[in-house]
Structure 1
């Protein structure tokens, strides 16, 4: 069924212009976009419509487009799914040679639609008639999008009924199935813009559609806000220290917790002493993972409830996730075993939807390997330093060489490249440029090896001390949202 033209917004103003000199352009809200060259006039039309389809996909709704070319002008409705409907089309008057004999007019082959033959006109004077406005169905326009195919006039008499009318009369009337009918509107309503100048105009009373950037951000928020069937476990790994593992754990947890992905736990699965507790807020106790293991029988019993976890985890009051710290007893020599990882995993998956696991630097340790066994999605952070990147590559290579589940994790991994460097070097203007260039080089190197690569800009709030998501710069927050969305897509 076609779209009623009045239902389609006239904003933004879109024009598609094809010229007889072999050039074309698409003008969107006054901004001109060059149309790729084509071998024919029809190629230029198709290339122009492809740009308009891209605009419709960006806006996620149909758009109007005014078309103009050497053959005529009119208006189309272009849908994001590549459907095209004609609103109107008016051919230009045919140009004829002045010296052509009146009794033998020249037969002109159509320049656009080669599949529709045009018969030579009879040498009989025919009264001039206004050009018809052609209404077409979406299916017909899809086959011949621009210009609409000409309608061929057929002679008729008072005693002869047109074939199309006969077909309509003879077509049996059928009753639609109630199962195939619904009054519900399935397409979501596009909320107006809230950001940038579009958001400003919306707040002033002029409703504006969101920009492509705002639509992309909304999609990332929707992605990280999902509730998956069953808990999801993320392992953050790199065998080299100082690769940004702990900041990655904190920021991924903050994004998932803030956007409603469910109760989120950051678990420091270091074999001895980790640093997650140093970069996060401490609760009113000193409990660690070993205390939780000692109380696991009670926590796994039917009588236990989620409030009992407050004795063992450290809640982040601003970022809304919990932290399970590693053992920080300097005099202790206990190393977490594979069996203890299993115990913590059972407790964590009972109470949390999302579990993000920090890790140590030894891929051979029992607790590291057992963590990988429980992992659904692998995240490999690196900084803009070649030794961190090489350590990340070797970590992925180790997992891939083990085959099976480990190899699948390596191939489906998300690499997060931070532009930060060693804090002791400082970040002057030249250092920032070098870090950006090195981060891009590393990102390009990992791109063909893993599922996704995300870059994080340098931010001084990530260098030292406890990490707070609100303290990050807007560009950094947006980058971490994109990173979390890339991770979530692996679920």
Structure 2
């Protein structure tokens, strides 16, 4: 860049979640509309470039998108540089052309020339002890000519992606790299099925949304096939909050047909008679018994049978649960569990119930205690009072969620906070209905769970 940008004109830009934008020049705002956020960013950069041409020098642009901010410098020639947020030197996104240099020849050591006329060279006197030893043979098993791929794809999100579309090569931000790592984690295929139990002894603690969203993330990113299983003693709510298939089958119907389902000639397609597929989120749901007139509660043996069937056809099994740790099906679920997840909303009674659940498991020792110490606690910034409200109610919910998260941090393997989202208050739970920030938080939560496998 030929010169430093001046402080005038002052440019500020905002990109909103819906793709619209706003450019403020010396305190005067004007809307910037594009078909999406990418086109809006390009329009903003183009307007800044025109101002640079008009003033004959670079201009500085401060841009905000979501909770992130960028400082850009646009030169008269159209080049764009990103400035760091602190007082360090600017990050040049276009690499400079290397200067031409003449390589220096290696220094030659002088060797004395023998006088051939006066004396003949004497043969070297070398004892057998002075003979050079042959080098050790390298291991064939430990040798490879393959070079590992260590390249990093350019940024694909935010302002950095917009700059790349203009022909630059801007690396991804730390936030984007972290997101890529979470995607890689949840996309793994583990040797053998894995079972996740979602537990809290208090109702309304966000168990059902946690089951649905963990299943959605793991299935959508390729970690599937995934089954979300409602392991309530009788009527659970997972079937109410997910899409209904063309039948009314439940876990009891699956148990009754287990002999046929476990036979060699049975295929995955036969499960369609018993589970309810979620078309957008790519996972299946196994309902609890919904018979209003029935009094049957699932036994430990029935959990074993259903889990055997599920383990044959699914790589990931995520189990919802009831509110008592004493029931036979709850305790047998824990026996099959590889990773424990404890959801809690930003309310002290939900947090206390979560703590008691962990204490109960720890007191039992062995496998149960290991699950409690390695649990993932997911704290939702949601309260009954905050639903449908904003402002102060949500601020209080966030503060309470932070306090609860801090309290659980030294007790378990991981604690994840997820924001309040109105899409989770009622109705069918779909990942696409969540706000972008909520989707990112649940991806992080699923990665924390997957790290326990």
The TM-score with structure 2 as length reference comes to: 0.71
Q: Does residue 286 in structure 1 map to residue 222 in structure 2?
A: no
Match of 1:197 among 159, 163, 171: 159
Contact persistence 2:195–2:318 (CA under 8 A): yes
- Determine if contact 1:423/1:463 at 8 Å carries over to the other structure: no
- 1:202 counterpart SS class: helix
Q: Secondary structure at the match of 2:240?
A: helix
CA 1:423/1:257 → structure 2, altered by over 3 Å: closer, same or farther?
A: farther
**Structure 2 residue corresponding to 1:409, chosen from 371, 389, 398:** 371
Tell me by how many angstroms 1:189 deviates: 2.2
Instruction: Tell me what 2:394 maps to.
Output: 432
Structure 2 CA distance for aligned equivalents of residues 392 and 193 of structure 1: 39
Mapped partners of 1:29, 1:278: distance in 2: 49
| Contact 2:386/2:393 (8 A) holds in 1 | no
Q: CA deviation at 1:330?
A: 0.9
SS in 2 for 1:357: strand
Name the SS for the 1:278 alignment partner.
coil
Q: CA deviation at 1:424?
A: 7.8
Runs of 4+ that moved beyond 4 A = 32-35, 156-160, 170-176
- Correspondent of 1:400 among 362, 372, 376: 362
CA gap of 1:425–1:281, structure 2 versus 1, over 3 A, is closer
Q: Which runs of 5+ in 2 are unaligned?
A: 1-80, 96-103, 114-130
Give the equivalent residue in structure 2 for 1:339.
Answer: 301
- Aligned partner of 1:31 among 74, 80, 84: 84
Q: Is 1:350 aligned to residue 312 of structure 2?
A: yes
Inter-partner Cα distance in structure 2 for 1:366 and 1:303: 32
1:241 equivalent in alignment to 2:294: no
Partner of 2:219: 257
Report the counterpart of residue 19 of structure 1 in structure 2.
Answer: none
> How many residues matched?
343
- C-alpha displacement of 1:410: 0.1
Among residues 451, 457, 468, which one is paired with 2:419 in the alignment?
457
Aligned to 1:474: 436
Aligned to 1:316: 278
> 8 Å contact 2:387–2:422 — kept in the other structure?
no
Who is 1:127 aligned against? none
* Contact map agreement 2:235 2:289 (CA 8 A) in 1: yes
**Unaligned 5+ runs, structure 1:** 1-27, 36-54, 56-63, 65-132, 136-155, 161-169
The Cα shift of 1:205 comes to: 2.3
Q: TM-score, normalised by structure 1?
A: 0.66
Deviation at 1:262, TM superposition (A): 1.8
1:222 maps to what in 2?
184
1:302 aligns with 2:355: no
Q: Is the 8 A contact 1:278 1:466 kept in 2?
A: yes
Q: Check conservation: 1:221, 1:481, Cα contact below 8 A.
A: yes
Describe the SS at the equivalent of 1:279: coil
CA distance in 2, matches of 1:234, 1:31: 42
Contact 1:417 1:442 in 2 (8 A): yes
Q: CA RMSD in A?
A: 2.9
Cα separation, 2, equivalents of 1:415 and 1:178: 47
Q: Is the 8 A contact 1:270 1:358 kept in 2?
A: yes
1:364-387 superposed Cα distances (whole Å, 9 cap, x missing partner)? 000000000000000000000000
CA distance in 1, matches of 2:143, 2:321: 54
Provide the C-alpha distance between the structure 2 equivalents of 1:430 and 1:33, rounded to a whole number of angstroms. Answer: 32
**Contact residue 399 and residue 410 of structure 1 kept, 8 A:** yes
Q: What is the match of residue 326 of structure 2?
A: 364
Structure 1's 177 and 355: CA in aligned 2 closer, same or farther, altered over 3 A?
Answer: same
CA distance in 2, matches of 1:172, 1:293: 72
1:484 aligns with 2:439: no
1:257/1:425 Cα in 2 relative to 1: closer, same or farther (>3 Å)? closer
User: Which one of the candidate residues 164, 168, 172 is aligned to 1:210?
Assistant: 172
